[in-house]
Structure 1
Amino acid sequence: MIRKIVLPFLVINLLSTAFIADHKTIPKPIAKSGFAVIELFTSEGCSSCPSADALLAEIEKENQNKPIYLLAFHVDYWDRLGWKDRFSNAKFSARQNQYADWLSLKTVYTPQVVVNGNKEFVGSEESILRNSIKTALASPSMGNLDISTGKTGNGNLILNYNTNQPTDGYSLAVALVIAKASNQVLRGENKGKTLSHVQIVTQFETFVLGGKTNGSVNVQMNQVNGEQPTELIAFLQNNKTGKITVATSLSPLLDHK
């Protein structure tokens, strides 16, 4: 009787031990610290925008070497109102309108900030911006995006990417950025002012990945007003919701060939 009772328990115990040992060998994703992609939609023709530009400069100065990615998109719809912003681009206005669709907004405005593609507010609202960054950084990220670059024969960039997250329904967004610039405004609402800018987007492209988790894309490399981009910021964005799930950057850009 004793043998009949003990043996099954020994078998069960051994099987349980084997299951536990095998279970422990399954690798688990390691959560990383969060990140914040800050997109400012601004214009030199807008009298409310210099304060938002200055706030972005403060954030940039205070958060060196942190996973905070700053992008200043100069929209073009102010250009017809007295002053043409030399950094403006219709593509940037189109991106802002895309956010209006994603976030169910009735209109666009400047200055506007969007954080990680899913929260928007007036770009000069310092407390909201700082709290939004704090919240974003405190939210663990399971995603990873690795990038590297090479040059094509025509001087453009080949961007190699690799990610551990599914990419069905996602696009790879790529922005080329100038670190800083200033400009004297001669007309419009900011007439007579010399405006300073940081993290100025000069080019922006998106690539639908269609489920591919690694590959290469070609990125145009153009100078804007004779200035060469110094940083590349890349991130994955949901095509339906606009939510950004992972981001990274290369800077200085010319060192990554």
Structure 2
Amino acid sequence: MRQTRLPPRIVALRALPCAWMAAAGLAPVAVRAEPVSAVVEMFTSQGCTACPAAEPVMRDLAHKPGIVALTLPVTYWDYLGWHDTLGLRAHNERQRAYARARGARQVMTPQAIVDGTAAAIGSNRPAVERLLREAGQTTPLPVPVRAEVQGNRIVVEVGASEPAVPVPAKAGKLDGKDEVWLVPLLKRRETEVEGGENDGRVATYVNVVRGLERLGTWTGQAARFEVPLSAAAVAQADSWVVLVQHAREGRPGRILGAAKGPGL
């Protein structure tokens, strides 16, 4: 496990520009969708010697019903001799924002974040599974989300929060700052590491995040969003997920709902 201390200031997560979006109110009823019970984000690096042990954890989670498992390679270990071929600085910023929200002074790899609030060492399978149980692994996330491809568009429907979505105090109130995100990803990628501490190893990732595109704001009422299918076809991405996430002071918070894209 590697750690790095947070800088004095943190850059808030920024949304990528959305090519086109339409939102319209729908009847305040639950949206029928395959239930998602938890979202696990794994922050990792090809240059971290402790990170390969987290890869089988993610592969297993990705095959569990109701779990959205996302791999987010970071770049802050690139100075060790190998530049992560999948790393994005936006992932660094997202992980640091999570740390600041929890009052943590350091970030580490591998690190698992469950539902945007709880953290564990990513290679510690019992710890990750404990967080999933505490999050209610068999209980769907409180906000129903349905997403599907219709022609050349991705259509997202987010259900209304009725009854009111219970949100822990640490996650903040539902105050109109909840956001809907499209997350393009690579379903699987094997990369041979040719330098640094993992020289000669092959990193085998599932559901590698290749971007974050903000579709709009969710206010608690049923809403519909549309975006061109091309918005998900970035950096060799071959699928996507949708997240509904609380935002607090520009930082990502509790994940309230999610939907899987094709082949996940």
TM-score by length of 2: 0.72
Structure 1 residues 83 and 151, CA, compared in 2 at 3 Å: closer, same or farther? Answer: farther
Alignment of 1:218 onto 2:217? no
Q: Which residue of 1 aligns with 2:261?
A: 250
Q: Which residue of 2 aligns with 1:87?
A: 86
Q: Distance in 1 between matches of 2:241 and 2:35?
A: 18
Q: Distance in 2 between matches of 1:228 and 1:199?
A: 9
Could you list the runs of 5+ residues in structure 2 that have no partner in the other structure?
1-28, 162-173
Q: Which residue of 1 aligns with 2:208?
A: 200
Residue pair 1:167, 1:209 contacting (<8 A) in 2 also: no
Task: Select the residue among 35, 38, 51 that pairs with 1:36.
Answer: 38
* Secondary structure at 2:109 match in 1: coil
Alignment of 1:179 onto 2:181? no
Alignment of 1:137 onto 2:137? yes
* Secondary structure at 2:75 match in 1: coil
Could you list the runs of 5+ residues in structure 1 that have no partner in the other structure?
1-27
Structure possessing the higher relative contact order (Cα contacts under 8 Å, 6 or more residues apart): 2
Amino acid at match of 1:172: V
Structure 1 residues 190 and 128, CA, compared in 2 at 3 Å: closer, same or farther? Answer: same
Q: Distance in 1 between matches of 2:242 and 2:74?
A: 20
Amino acid at match of 1:58: D
TM-score by length of 1: 0.74
Choose 1 or 2 for highest CA Rg: 1
State the Cα distance separating 1:132 from its structure 2 match: 2.0
Structure 1 residues 146 and 221, CA, compared in 2 at 3 Å: closer, same or farther? Answer: closer
**Superposed counterparts of 1:99-138, under 5 Å:** 99-135=98-134, 136-138=136-138
State the Cα distance separating 1:117 from its structure 2 match: 0.8
Q: Distance in 2 between matches of 1:125 and 1:168?
A: 35
Q: Distance in 1 between matches of 2:117 and 2:232?
A: 29
* Secondary structure at 2:210 match in 1: strand
Amino acid at match of 1:81: L
Task: Select the residue among 47, 50, 56 that pairs with 2:49.
Answer: 47
Amino acid at match of 2:202: T
State the Cα distance separating 1:151 from its structure 2 match: 6.1
Residue pair 2:36, 2:66 contacting (<8 A) in 1 also: yes
Relative to total residues, which structure has the larger helix share, 1 or 2?
1
Query: CA RMSD, aligned part only?
Result: 2.8
Q: Distance in 2 between matches of 1:141 and 1:187?
A: 41
Structure 1 residues 238 and 54, CA, compared in 2 at 3 Å: closer, same or farther? Answer: same
When the two structures are aligned, how many residues end up with a matched partner?
216
Structure 1 residues 80 and 222, CA, compared in 2 at 3 Å: closer, same or farther? Answer: farther
Q: Distance in 1 between matches of 2:75 and 2:227?
A: 25
